[in-house]
Amino acid sequence: MTLDVMLIHSFERNAYRARAMHDFLEFALNKQPEERISHGEVARWAGALDNWAFYNVTALEIAIGYYRGELDYTFCDGVMNDLWGAVQAGFGPGNIQVPEPFFEIYLAFDAGEYHRKPDKSDNPVADFTNPLIAELVTRLGL
């Protein structure tokens, strides 16, 4: 069984964890757009900054919500950026392994932040983020 399949099965079987992730996203949605999610807040929800399962399941929830049109790009990108900072803070000495599929989802939203054309006539969210998230959701059968 691949890691992706194991994550999906774990995600589907664990209703408590899914509810906690939903509650975390509700918490994030209720913050003002300019407010960042602190490392302390992440630790409160995750239990520890190195809880890779928390980041993976939360990132999957964000990807699914975005794909379904329930969450907008700005919110998702902001939360993923805040979580990425917390992931980096959770690296231990000699341990810089990043959680997957968290990092793949982070990179998909990150790709929407930057115009590639000098005149900014491109749409990086439509050109990069949307297809990357759609591919991930389809590949994982979400």
Q: What is the pLDDT of residues 92-127, one digit of tens each?
A: 777 778 889 999 999 999 999 999 999 999 999 999
The SS3 of residue 14 is coil
The SS3 assignment for 45 reads: helix
Q: Could you state, in order of their start, the residue ranges of all structural domains in the chain?
A: 3-139
pLDDT digits over 27-42, tens only? 888 887 788 888 888 8
What pLDDT is attached to residue 3? 56
Question: CB–CB of 110/77 below 8 Å?
Answer: yes
Measuring CA to CA, which residue among 18, 89, 29, 94 is closest to residue 56? 18
Q: Are 28 and 41 in contact (CB under 8 A)?
A: no
pLDDT at 7: 55
**The two structure tokens encoding residue 107:** 């990179």
Compute the chain's Rg from CA coordinates. Answer: 15
**Is this structure's pTM higher than 0.75?**
yes
| Distance separating alpha carbons of residues 40 and 6, to the nearest angstrom | 29
Give the integer Cα–Cα distance in Å for 129 and 111: 6
- Answer whether residue 4 shows pLDDT above 70: no
Report the amino acid identity of residue 59.
A
